[in-house]
Structure 1
Amino acid sequence: MAVNIYREYRLKFYLNMRHYIIINDAKGETHPHTWEFALDIKFSRNSFVEFNIFEDGISKFLEQFQNKILNEVEPFDSMMPTLENVTDYFAEEFFKIIYKTGGMLTCVEASETPTRSYIVNISEQEKNSILNKKADARIMSEVMDAVLDDIIN
């Protein structure tokens, strides 16, 4: 019986940024945080992992928010930059970056203080849906290539 064994990693990234929250139409004070993002990533056991590839991708993504007032940067100029909203948005972007490297993001834990975290678990159903869409696109591309080859030849 074949057993699927994966290598699982947890990587941490840090982001210094400021934000403010609006409660009952009153703008709160702009205040700083050093946010910590812990990403759980799975790779096939047969895969060689070049950490710098996805570390560079995540770091480049986070760079656009580094040392900024989050409320002034898209998409948070139109979305309240709460811990939950930031993490939900970043988790989707992190997933895309990790997926392009051949890995699978399974969990993102974000903290804006050492005592407060918000966790996004990416369910098997969500991962499978994303994988199926990619497989469908690949199959369609192969079919189109074959049709074009027949037409040309």
Structure 2
Amino acid sequence: MYYLSVKRHFEAAHFLRGYKGKCENLHGHRYEAALKVRVSKLDECGMGVDFKLLKTSLSEVLQSYDHTCLNDLTPFDNQNPSAENIAKDIYNRLKPVITKNGAELYGVEVWESPDSSVLYQPD
């Protein structure tokens, strides 16, 4: 089994509804997001999935978040834009693209700071 990963970043603001503390106020992060895929076979070039495809796919999703207030975007207009929910949303949006290209989307990791991250992997 081969595990591949690419990472990109975006800048966004958010606030957490119902949270008691600093994060209930509007604030921003330089988020990083990594998609993690796995494949069991390599193609004729000896690659599992072209990194270019992975980078492009992740960048397209993250572009919709970049320099926004995440609370204004679907699905975060109805749920808190926590790192956990952001990771799950990215996963759900990327899964069809990755699967179509012969790989399994293994997980999505999101950092809201250099030392705080969440990894989403569905059951």
TM-score normalised by structure 1 residue count = 0.67
Q: Of 3, 7, 26, which residue of structure 1 is paired with 2:2?
A: 7
1:23 partner amino acid:
G
Aligned 8 A contact 2:6 2:54 in 1: no
Equivalent positions of 1:114-125 (< 5 A) are 114-123=114-123
1:10 partner amino acid:
S
Deviation (angstroms), 1:24: 6.3
Partner of 1:51: 51
Aligned equivalents of 1:45, 1:111: Cα separation in 2: 30
Partner of 1:80: 80
Aligned equivalents of 1:86, 1:77: Cα separation in 2: 12
Deviation (angstroms), 1:70: 0.3
Equivalent positions of 1:1-153 (< 5 A) are 6-23=1-18, 28-47=24-43, 48=47, 49-123=49-123
RMSD: 2.2
SS of corresponding position for 1:23: coil
2:93 partner amino acid:
E
More helix by share: 1
Deviation (angstroms), 1:63: 0.8
Aligned 8 A contact 2:35 2:58 in 1: no
Work out the percentage of aligned pairs sharing the same amino acid: 25
Deviates more, 1:46-55 or 1:93-102: 46-55
Q: Following superposition, which runs of at least 4 residues in structure 1 exceed 4 angstroms of deviation?
A: 24-27
Q: Between Structure 1 and Structure 2, whose CA radius of gyration is higher?
A: 1
TM-score normalised by structure 2 residue count = 0.81
Aligned 8 A contact 1:19 1:69 in 2: yes
Aligned 8 A contact 1:58 1:97 in 2: no
Aligned 8 A contact 2:91 2:108 in 1: yes
